[in-house]
Structure 1
Amino acid sequence: MFFTLASFLAMWRMLERKRLRDSAALGLLLGLAIAPKVSILPVLAPLILVYWYRVLDEVEDRWTNITPKLVGRIFGHAALAVVVASGVFFISAPYAILDFGSFADDLSAQTMMASNAGLWPFTIQYVGTPAFVYQIQQSSVWGLGLPLGVVAWASIPFTAALAVISKKNRRVDLFLLAWVVPGFIF
């Protein structure tokens, strides 16, 4: 969780400072976040979003001023982040290369476990539970506690509404939603 949150800080820092080394630092933290938990791959949605924000910053939100040269330059920064993240991932999780077959099988098994309750003994408790409602209930009651759980889950539609209604913090709201919503769905 630490490296995931650090990745989000690095994304915003890259957007503010616009330096190549910030993209490299972002890649480093992203690789460290993905290595122990590949299921955080929905983090790619906010990553794409911040580089898109970067393009819009360069043209001061005038879409007609976007040029292939500009997109190519910023794509180079994004590519550096992806290359560094991939390198760090493969250094941190060498089994992903050394025994890719087992790695892919394990990922497949984890995916099946998450989507087919009852195949493994410890997943029998999830048979017949309604999707999403169960996760919201469990995290609210047992994870966060009821008051904080209600506030946390209510904040998602509230943030979405703010992103639609108000332009003041729209970028930040969309950035947070780009992380939370894909993570919840997948």
Structure 2
Amino acid sequence: MMSQSIDDLLRLGDYLETRNPKKLRPLKNQSEPLNVYIDFYLLNIIGLDDIQQNLDISVVFNMSWKDDLLSWNEITIKIDRLYYFFLQNVIIPIFMLSFLNLFTFCLPDDSGEKISFSLTVLLSQTVFLSTISESLPTTSLHLVYITMYMNCLLIISCSISIASIRFIVSTITYNEIYKVKF
């Protein structure tokens, strides 16, 4: 609920207190039981003193219940996702980085550019993944598809880099053994 000024908020508080006295339970039928839900979350163990036998902890304690005396008419909320920001700053760069991976095979084998290019793409994907991971939801219940795609892309890029290095090293070794020059 929004108010225009502090006076509106204070008037609303006074109105709610006069309609709902603190000594009454928040039920229309006072003979019914009141279900109170309690959440207790241990956030941190701050300290433990074995000698004094003290445990300092940081917790969140939340109590909630349904207040029958305090209700509003049904409010409809419409939420629109603004996907252009995500598209422009996450999706398009990911596809561009995955497209750059393919250019590793277009570079000539005898130059050292193939290895440096594949390692640069791998490094840029790693930095980009760490950057966008801060803006993605942190949950362990469901994997975010874009993170799974980035991890697959990172594995492919790493494989391309290893294959390029291995191919260049084996070519150099072959050329040194058989004294072949291109």
| TM superposition score normalised by structure 2 | 0.29
Which structure dedicates a bigger proportion of its chain to strand?
Answer: 2
Structure index of larger Rg: 2
| TM superposition score normalised by structure 1 | 0.28
